Amino acid sequence: MAPGPAVPILARPDPALECSPMKLALLGTGLMGAPMTRRLCAAGLDVTVWNRTRAKAEALASAGARVADTPDAAVRTAELVITMLEHGDIVEELLFAHGLADALPRGALLVDMSSIRPAQARAHAAALAERGVAHLDAPVSGGTVGAEAGTLAIMAGGEAADFERARPAFAPLGRATHVGPHGAGQLAKLANQMIVGITIGAVAEALLLAERGGADPAKVREALRGGFADSRILEVHGQRMVERDFAKRAAITVQIKDLRNALTTGAELGFDAPITQLFEQLYRSAADHGWADADHAGLWLELARRNGMK
């Protein structure tokens, strides 16, 4: 019998030539940072975490994350560092007052996914560049639900080359868009939060009006879906209003912070934002009446109070 065709022998790949996973540090493992860490670990990235309250970071060890005692230790060998902190002043304090900026390896990329003022993001980028560290401001939208599902909208400002470097970290988290230079990501997030905060108010007021007039707000919400009034806010936050479910996902305090950042940025740009100003006052009133830690859909509670409704 004639011999068959020769079968090529495939050499094993040299382990030294195989790509190692990106070394990541994530600082801030709260409501958003924790599910983001789990998704990064599940994607096979090499993740070290730090959180001011260590127990929150330790809870992620079972997902495959290493837990560092200090922020400096977390970033020591990182190629890419993600910060997911409460606001810009905390980011600035961690980076510069506590010296983290000097601990970052030269050539590393810091991706600040916190929601801060655009001017702060530009200042941080400039100060880090002097230390040989690249920077992206890349805030997110989608809340804890999006963080858990990997469907966050990520708005990135900075150099295009750095955006490409960050793609392996962005991919498990959601859909990333490069929107412009340093600070542009934060501008996009402010636009997002203006639309979200104002639309929550419109949905709440409309459903309360319908209820006051004797209509079933649940049925009104159902009737509006599919028409021009439909939106993600009507779908998600409208359902929370119908069910009176105001457990915190994104707190009223956070919405106030974002609207104030929008107003501060508008003032810096000579831009008048009267609608945003009105809603900042409404959310602040909600906080003053005891709902600071409610979900931002809890603006419904303030509008109901003003109308003497339960």
d(CA 59, CA 65): 9
- Strand residue runs (E) in 18-172: 23-27, 46-50, 66-67, 80-83, 109-112, 134-137, 140-141, 152-157
Q: Can you give the pLDDT of all 310 residues of the chain as single tens digits?
A: 444 444 333 344 444 434 678 999 999 999 999 999 999 999 999 999 999 999 999 999 999 999 999 999 999 999 999 999 999 999 999 999 999 999 999 999 999 999 999 999 999 999 999 999 999 999 999 988 899 999 999 999 999 999 999 999 999 999 999 999 999 999 999 999 999 999 999 999 999 999 999 999 999 999 999 999 999 999 999 999 999 999 998 899 999 999 999 999 999 999 999 999 999 999 999 999 999 999 999 999 999 999 999 7
What lies within 8 Å, CB to CB, of 32 at 6+ separation is 84, 113, 140, 143, 144, 147
Q: Work out the burial of residue 121: count CB atoms within 10 Å of its CB; fewer than 13 is exposed, 13-18 middle, 19 or more buried.
A: buried
Domain assignment of residue 5, yes or no:
no
The verdict on 238 and 119 lying in the same domain is no
- Show which of 144, 162, 181 is a domain's final residue: 181
pLDDT digits (tens, 9 = 90+) for 197-211: 999 999 999 999 999
pLDDT digits (tens, 9 = 90+) for 24-76: 999 999 999 999 999 999 999 999 999 999 999 999 999 999 999 999 999 99
**Residue 268 structural domain:** 188-306
The verdict on 203 and 68 lying in the same domain is no
Domain assignment of residue 92, yes or no:
yes
- Show which of 155, 181, 207 is a domain's final residue: 181
Q: Taking the alpha carbons of 214, 217, 223, 229 in that order, is the dihedral positive or negative?
A: positive
pTM attached to this predicted model: 0.88
Domain assignment of residue 6, yes or no:
no
When divided into structural domains, the chain yields a total of 2
CATH at 216: 1.10.1040.10
Domain assignment of residue 132, yes or no:
yes
- Show which of 120, 154, 181 is a domain's final residue: 181
The verdict on 174 and 193 lying in the same domain is no
The verdict on 117 and 203 lying in the same domain is no
Helices and strands in the chain, H and E counts = 14, 9
d(CA 128, CA 97): 13
d(CA 67, CA 49): 5
DSSP annotation of 176:
E
The verdict on 140 and 65 lying in the same domain is yes
The verdict on 122 and 271 lying in the same domain is no
The verdict on 24 and 156 lying in the same domain is yes
The verdict on 131 and 197 lying in the same domain is no
The verdict on 123 and 241 lying in the same domain is no
The verdict on 162 and 98 lying in the same domain is yes
What lies within 8 Å, CB to CB, of 136 at 6+ separation is 109, 110, 111, 112, 156, 157, 158, 159, 162, 163, 166, 185
Which residues form the catalytic set? 189
Domain assignment of residue 221, yes or no:
yes
The verdict on 197 and 156 lying in the same domain is no
Cα dihedral angle (52, 56, 59, 60), rounded to 10 degrees? -60
- What is the predicted pLDDT for the residue at 176? 98
Domain assignment of residue 115, yes or no:
yes
Domain assignment of residue 63, yes or no:
yes
The verdict on 171 and 204 lying in the same domain is no
CATH at 88: 3.40.50.720
Domain assignment of residue 278, yes or no:
yes
